[in-house]
Amino acid sequence: MKKGLVFAVILALFVALAGCGGKSAEQTSGNGEAKKKVIVGTDAAFAPFEYMDKGKIVGFDVDFLDAVMEEAGLEYELKNIGWDPLFAALQEGKEIDLAISGITINDKRKQTYDFSVPYFESTHMILVKENSPIKNALDLKGKIVGVQNGTTGQAAVEKLFGAENKNIKKFENTVVAIMDLLNGGVDAVVTDNAVANEYVKNNPDKKLKAIEDPANFESEFYGLMFPKGSDLKPKVDEAIKKVIESGKYAEIYKKWFGNEPKVDNLLK
Ligand code: ARG
């Protein structure tokens, strides 16, 4: 008798939970049609843009994405699938509908993917040990330089020293590249400026410094990345502009970077 009751309660709970899951995975559009949740991919090893904290993906991009999707009226789920898989998944049109991951908009990628309007201005910096003699990008000549594979950091170093250069060591993600620097496997890591600065600031015990070099590293812009021809792009672009114009963007920026963003470059 008792056993039967317990079983009934468990069954009822199970049915209720299954019901909830089903509902939240769908949303209805204006014409009452059920639409699927938008699946967004990321590589959550790129603080402060996206990283894992107590089992959750957090960061500037995560807050920004949330504001944009709310503005666009889209339900979504953010999945940590890793950097190289983001590009493969979007190209094959499988697993994810778009990606946010501090992804730089450039001509090469534009041949294969669509990008949103820009939402963040970036450049590269060189991470080295505090006592390193390296002072600028040209000093990297002949040194072992770590980069995340397939990033614009890799492209920036290849532009200076040639793509065939044997001294460029490519890593699956930026965290392992920095680990290798700490372990002495590479002499420097070239990565996005906000990421380099964040690491130095948050890890004073690691005794690293971040070097800028505007003469050798260009400015670039991040965008959300879509499969070519995605019908989400116009909606998302509209929403991004609204989030920037409304001041919501500045609020999120201040939370993560502590100062006011320069939004003029984004809106032109
Ligand atoms: N902005 C650079 C690029 O697009 C690096 C981005 C790396 N992002 C990441 N989540 N690992 O190539």
Residue-level pLDDT at 36? 79
Q: What is the pLDDT of residue 268?
A: 76
Q: Is the pLDDT of residue 20 over 70?
A: no
Selected residue with higher pLDDT from 106 and 20:
106
Written as one string, the DSSP assignment of 11-53 is HHHHHHHHHHHHHHTEEE-TTS-EEEPEEEEE--EETTTEEEE
- Among the ranges given (29-33, 59-63, 147-151), the one the predictor scored with the smallest mean pLDDT: 29-33
Distance (Å) from CA 159 to ligand 1 centroid: 17
Residue 121 is inside which H or E element, if any? Answer: strand 120-122
Contact 121, 83 (CB under 8 A): no
Distance 109 CA to ligand 1 centre (A): 12
pLDDT at 1 over 50: no
Phi/psi for 267 (5° steps) reads -90, -10
The predicted pLDDT at position 92 comes to 94
The residue-averaged pLDDT of 243-266 equals 96
pLDDT of residue 169: 98
Q: Would strands 225-227 and 113-115 be described as parallel, antiparallel, or unpaired?
A: antiparallel
Tell me which of 61, 103, 116, 195 to substitute to probe ligand 1's pocket, judged by most ligand atoms within 8 Å of the beta carbon: 103
Give the model's pLDDT for residue 12: 55
Ligand 1 site, CB within 6 A:
43, 46, 50, 83, 101-104, 148, 151-152, 173-174, 192
Residue 10 reports pLDDT greater than 80: no
Q: What percent of the chain has pLDDT over 70?
A: 87
What does pLDDT average to over the chain?
Answer: 91
Confidence of residue 7 (pLDDT cuts 50, 70, 90): low
Q: What is the DSSP letter of 206?
A: G
- Interface ipTM: 0.98
- Full-model pTM: 0.88
* pLDDT tens column, 36-93: 799 999 999 999 999 999 999 999 999 999 999 999 999 999 999 999 999 999 999 8
